[in-house]
């Protein structure tokens, strides 16, 4: 692309980090998890909606660090079952304990979280609650660490549209020849999982 359009085009791979696709959320959680491991945490609890990247990444990381994941999901009164959205589906496959909340239950989710934490502590577990957005110093450190990654997958939802828009601006000379362009790629290839109902049936039968 640099040669074709006479620009210096670079891509920051913020959609791929190590073995888990997650970008910025994974960078934040990298430090949260290190702190949790040092504390001897056994269970991670977090919240989100049915599309939550954070819930999926937390669940995947618990498998890597031999922990358990507990998710409180804002379901808006629906029971998704096998039609659950992509990120939630991945969390389910990875073994997360998923609790759907709606209405006042979601509004006061903190009460549910505290109840679960007390139950886990009673069972001699050490839980950690990770707030939505991964607030706090350990998570903030993840933003500071920027690592170069290689490889490219333009998913049609998050990356292809802005990439085509960038090319359009170059072709219209709005972005001038010789410009330095940094494209921060935050794609979500998990969103390409379209046959999750059939896959779920196969998993249940194994």
Q: Which pLDDT value is given to residue 88?
A: 84
pLDDT digits (tens, 9 = 90+) for 54-105: 898 899 888 888 999 999 999 876 665 555 677 888 888 889 999 999 888 8
Q: Which pLDDT value is given to residue 89?
A: 85
Q: CA-CA distances (angstroms) from residue 55 to 99, 130, 190, 200, 205?
A: 12, 10, 13, 19, 25
- d(CA 158, CA 149) in angstroms, rounded, equals 18
pLDDT digits (tens, 9 = 90+) for 107-125: 899 999 999 999 999 999 9
Bridge partner residues of 45 (DSSP): 70, 129
Residue 152 clears pLDDT 50, i.e. is over it:
yes
- How crowded is residue 2: how many other Cβ atoms within 10 Å of its Cβ? 10
CATH of domain 24-146: 3.40.50.1100
pLDDT digits (tens, 9 = 90+) for 12-38: 665 555 545 555 666 667 778 888 899
Rounded (10°) CA dihedral 34, 39, 42, 46 = -60
**pLDDT averaged over the chain?**
75
Q: Which pLDDT value is given to residue 69?
A: 96
Residue ranges of alpha helices (H) inside 12-102 are 24-39, 53-64, 86-93
Judge if pTM exceeds 0.75: no
Domain with CATH 3.40.50.1100 in the chain: 24-146
* 73 close to 101: Cβ distance less than 8 angstroms: yes
Kindly indicate the confidence band of residue 142, based on its pLDDT and cuts at 50, 70 and 90. Answer: very low
């Amino acid at each position: 692309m640099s040669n074709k359009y006479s620009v210096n085009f670079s891509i920051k791979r913020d959609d791929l980090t190590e073995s888990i696709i997650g970008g910025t959320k994974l960078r934040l959680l990298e430090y949260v998890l290190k702190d949790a491991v040092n504390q001897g945490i056994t269970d991670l609890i977090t919240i989100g909606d049915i599309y939550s990247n954070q819930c999926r990444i937390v669940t995947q990381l618990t498998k890597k660090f031999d922990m358990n994941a507990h998710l409180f999901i804002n379901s808006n009164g629906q029971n998704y079952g096998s039609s659950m959205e992509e990120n939630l589906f991945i969390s389910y496959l990875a073994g997360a304990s998923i609790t759907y909340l709606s209405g006042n239950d979601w509004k006061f989710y903190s009460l549910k979280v505290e109840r679960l934490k007390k139950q886990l502590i009673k069972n001699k577990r050490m839980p950690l609650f990770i707030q939505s957005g991964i607030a706090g110093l350990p998570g903030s450190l993840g933003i500071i660490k920027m690592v170069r990654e290689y490889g490219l997958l333009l998913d049609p939802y998050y990356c292809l549209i802005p990439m085509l828009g960038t090319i359009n601006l170059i072709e219209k000379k709005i972005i001038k020849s010789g410009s330095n362009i940094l494209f921060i790629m935050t794609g979500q290839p998990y969103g390409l999982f379209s046959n999750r109902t059939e896959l779920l049936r196969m998993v249940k039968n194994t």
